[in-house]
Amino acid sequence: MNLPHSFTQNRSRSRFSISGRPLIMGTIVLTVTGLITRTIGFFYRIYLSRLFGEEGMGIYQLLSPVLALSFSLCAAAYQTAISKYVAEYSGRERLKPLRAGLILSTPLSFLCTAVIYLNSEFIADNLLLEPRTAAMLRILAFSIPFSSIHSCINGYFYGIKKTKAPAAAQLLEQLARVGCVYLVSSTVIARGQTPSINVAVLGLTAGELVSMTVSLVAILNVLQEYNGDKGANIMPSMNKAAFHPHMFRNILGMALPLTLNRIVLNFLQSIEAVSIPARLRLYGYDNATALSVYGVLTGMAMPLIFFPNALTNSVSVLLLPLVSENYAAGDLPAVRAAILRTIRFCGILGFLCMSVFFLLGGFMGSALFDSPLAGHFITTLSFLCPFLYLDATLSSILQGLGRAGTIFVMNVIALLLRLAFVFEAIPLFGITGYLWGMLASQIVLSLLYLLCLRRFLRRKAPG
């Protein structure tokens, strides 16, 4: 039956308003926690840079490709898939996607741990091109199952738009990471020795262990609620939410393309990360200087530029199930309203942050990191802000609209553009060539996202 357009509009506003309340509250919880966590992490970065130096930070940052690839393979896509399908169920049925996701991702994470641990020397020598990362890789390998389990559980809570448990896990993870590094390094220094950068990786693994523990406690409380809070036996809730073959097909159907997409993207990012120090050596730097410049950029300047992402990331995490829910219900006005509000909000935040970083970047680099080079990078990277913060939220909206394949293609285009600057511009202009590439790729990605959304909304418009 065709309804009057005015009735449809009123109904759309009502649903968006109702759905928006958990979005707003969840965003507030995640944002406050994210800001606290990033503040702790920000000073933690300062502590690491002064404890291990610029070269040490460069070596530590070389681990990021391995960490990103393992997370993409074992956790990220399953969290997204669980979040989407949990949002489509109610009551005990919401446990079906969680159980299927855990059964699929956990064995995969243990396999990934074994591969990295047993092949750490090969990966360090031939892929990361830095033998000193071998011991760090062995420590890092143990964090992967912890990350996989807590990501799946987070997907459940994001799907029901309850963010207190993920927020608590995030905060305690950061506290555990910082506390572990501080205690171990202080003990080593007290003995008259110099702490190794391996301590930072130990802290990362300890943090993942704590976050997994917090997430398990939270989901066990949920299972107890389903059991009436009376019995000690918790597993019947999972058994009653018996997983069916169609749920595995649903989770895999969404997770596999996302995983493949993320692996390809992270593979390209890994080439980028490993190639930057190598191309800097072609520019004329020795190995220590190349690693130092890379460490200042990725370990000092970029975390500061990404600091306001605590807010946009919170919105992005909760936008996916909200947009997916409204789109599945045929509520395009609500989807359109979410897109317009997102663009307006991210634009204002981006230009404010750009102004602050551009005007105060030099001072921040010297005052916070005791590094004029970090100040130069912060000032230059400030122009990324309007595009950087917008891209994360628009990507989440497109995923909620089922456009994962389109996102993948657009990200590949942006990454290939950035890689072109890495290989062609860095040998000629040094690290400045890479900064130009970052700005160009973010602008191109923003334009592609906006054009895709504009085309989608025009195609779906009534009449």
- pLDDT for 212 beyond 90: yes
- On whether the pTM is more than 0.85, the answer is no
Top pLDDT among 377 and 53 is at: 377
170's tokens = 């995030």
Q: What is the DSSP letter of 299?
A: I
| 210: pLDDT strictly greater than 80 | yes
Reduce the DSSP state of residue 375 to 3 states and report it. Answer: helix
Task: Answer whether residue 243 shows pLDDT above 60.
Answer: no
Q: What is the pLDDT of residues 323-338, one digit of tens each?
A: 766 776 677 787 777 7
DSSP string, 36-100: HHHHHHHHHHHHHHHHHHHHHHHHHHTTHHHHHHHHIIIIIHHHHHHHHHHTT--GGGGHHHHHH
Q: Which residue has the higher pLDDT, 456 or 149?
A: 149
pLDDT tier, 434 (very low <50, low <70, confident <90, very high otherwise): very high
User: Is residue 190 scored above 60 in pLDDT?
Assistant: yes
Name the pLDDT band for 454 (thresholds 50, 70, 90). confident
d(CA 273, CA 63): 9
User: Is the pLDDT score of 25 beyond 70?
Assistant: no
Q: What is the pLDDT of residues 39-62, one digit of tens each?
A: 888 788 888 888 888 788 888 888
The percent of residues in the chain predicted with pLDDT above 90, rounded, is 30
| Residue 175 pLDDT class (50, 70, 90 cuts) | very high
Q: Hey, what amino acid is at 334?
A: A
Cβ proximity of 162 and 27 under 8 Å: no
CA separation for the pair 452, 406 (Å, rounded): 8
Question: Does the pLDDT value for residue 23 go beyond 60?
Answer: no
Measured N-to-C along each axis, helices 385-400 and 332-369 cross at an angle, to the nearest 10 degrees, of 140
Is a pLDDT exceeding 50 seen at residue 250? yes
- Which residue would you say has higher pLDDT here, 369 or 312? 369
Is pLDDT of 2 > 50? no
pLDDT at 12 > cutoff 50: no
Task: Return the HEC string of 322-353.
Answer: HHHHHHHCCCHHHHHHHHHHHHHHHHHHHHHH
What's the confidence (pLDDT) of residue 437? 93
* pLDDT, tens digit (0-9, with 9 covering 90-100), for 31-42: 677 778 878 887
**Rounded average pLDDT over 340-368:** 86
pLDDT band at 186 (very low <50, low <70, confident <90, very high): very high
- The answer to whether residues 23 and 323 touch, using CB atoms and an 8 Å cutoff, is no
The answer to whether residue 343 scores a pLDDT higher than 60 is yes
In this prediction, residues 337-351 reach a mean pLDDT of 80
- pLDDT at residue 144 in the model: 94
Look at residue 418 in the predicted model and tell me its pLDDT.
93
The better pLDDT of the pair 244, 334 is held by 334
The answer to whether residue 95 scores a pLDDT higher than 50 is: yes
Sorted by sequence, the CB contacts under 8 Å of residue 394 that are 6+ apart come out as 339, 342, 343, 446, 449, 450, 453
The per-residue pLDDT of the chain, averaged, comes to 81
